[in-house]
Amino acid sequence: MEYFLQQVINGVTLGSIYGLIAIGYTMVFGIIGMVNFAHGDVFMLSTFIALIFLMVLTQVLGLGSLAVALFIVLIAAMLLTSLWAWAIERLAYRPLRGSFRLAPLISAIGMSIFLSNLVQVTQGPRYKPAPPILGDVITLTAGSGYSVTVSHKQILIVVVTAGLLACFWYLVQNTSIGRAQRACEQDRRMAALLGIDVDRTIALTFVMGAALAAVAGLLFMIYYGVVSFNDGFVPGVKAFTAAVLGGIGSLPGAVLGGLLIGLIETLWSAYFSIDYKDVATFSILAITLIFLPSGLLGKPEVEKV
* Interface with other proteins (CB under 8 A): 29, 33-35, 45, 48-49, 51-53, 55-56, 59-60, 76, 80, 83-84, 87, 91-92, 95-96, 99-107, 109-115, 117-124, 128-131, 233, 237, 240, 244, 275-276, 278-279, 282-283, 285-286, 289-290, 293, 305
3-state DSSP assignment of residue 259: helix
Q: Which is nearer to other proteins, 89 or 148 (CB)?
A: 89
CB of residue 128 vs other proteins: minimum separation in angstroms?
A: 5
The angle at the Cα of 26, spanning 21 to 30, to the nearest 5 degrees, equals 155
Torsion of CA 156, 261, 225, 276, to 10 degrees: 160
Beta carbons within 10 angstroms of residue 292's beta carbon = 14
Q: Which is nearer to other proteins, 35 or 267 (CB)?
A: 35
Q: Which is nearer to other proteins, 187 or 301 (CB)?
A: 301
CB of residue 57 vs other proteins: minimum separation in angstroms?
A: 11
Distance from C-alpha of 271 to C-alpha of 268, rounded to nearest angstrom: 5
Burial 57-73 (b: 16+ CB within 10 A, else e): bbeeeeeeeeeebbebb
Q: Which is nearer to other proteins, 85 or 184 (CB)?
A: 85
First-to-final CA distance of the chain: 53
CB of residue 72 vs other proteins: minimum separation in angstroms?
A: 13
Distance from C-alpha of 140 to C-alpha of 154, rounded to nearest angstrom: 13
Q: Which is nearer to other proteins, 2 or 278 (CB)?
A: 278
CB of residue 134 vs other proteins: minimum separation in angstroms?
A: 17
Residues in the chain: 305
* E runs forming strands in the chain: 128-129, 137-141, 148-151, 226-227
Burial (CB count <10 Å: 0-12, 13-18, 19+), residue 201 = buried
CB of residue 230 vs other proteins: minimum separation in angstroms?
A: 11
Q: Which is nearer to other proteins, 51 or 148 (CB)?
A: 51
CB of residue 180 vs other proteins: minimum separation in angstroms?
A: 24
